[in-house]
Amino acid sequence: MTSPKQPLRFAMLALAAATLATGVGVALPQPAPAQSGLTIFGGVAPEFRLRYLIDFNRPRSRNSRYYLQVARAMVTQDIVSFEIEYPESFTERRGRLDMNAIELRQGDWRGGAVIPVQSIEWEEGSGRIVITPEEPIPANSNFVIVMSNVVNPNRYGYHYFNLNAMFQGDVIGRYVGTWPLELGAD
């Protein structure tokens, strides 16, 4: 005795065998990968995405200039110091930063007047740069971190640079946002 589901099962197997033999695929509905951890588009929540500009943005360019902008909405209190974390993939693909060619500027876009810096410390092994201005950067003000003489990585890709800030009165730094740098795009 055959069950009523058996002919349907046989028909599905025959259809699958026929599509494999002819090379024509049949799209069957698949479950959505809601919890897979894979992000195809985006990656940084819009409220934490920081703006930037890049001059001479070609792979292996030896004179790229990054303008990493921080909008006034992100500066909720005076900033005493901040750190930029860059990914290991940046240096693995032969990207290089020049610590002697980093400056802070007031304003937005490419910046205006230079903000005096007390120190720039580079923790190369951990991929961090700590910048301390001479005076705290006032709340609700725009500023730009300008990195000149950058050697771009040897091929196109996205590299996420994170900004953490030590606000006046805080004990530990807070995450401010991320620059999703598209490098080697020209």
Taking only the tens place, the pLDDT of each residue in 68-110 is 999 999 999 999 999 999 999 999 999 999 999 999 999 999 9
Single-letter amino acid code for the residue at 20: L
Sheet with 128-133, edge to edge strand ranges: 117-123, 128-133, 79-85, 157-167, 174-183
Pairing of strands 64-70, 128-133: unpaired
This prediction has a pTM of 0.76
Rounded to 10 degrees, the C-alpha dihedral 113/119/124/127 comes to: -60
Share of the chain above pLDDT 70, in %: 77
pLDDT of 124 = 82
pLDDT tens figures, 129-160: 999 999 999 999 999 999 999 999 999 999 99
Task: Report the alpha-carbon distance of residue 78 to residue 139 in Å, rounded.
Answer: 5
Domains and CATH numbers, the chain: 47-183 (2.60.40.1290)
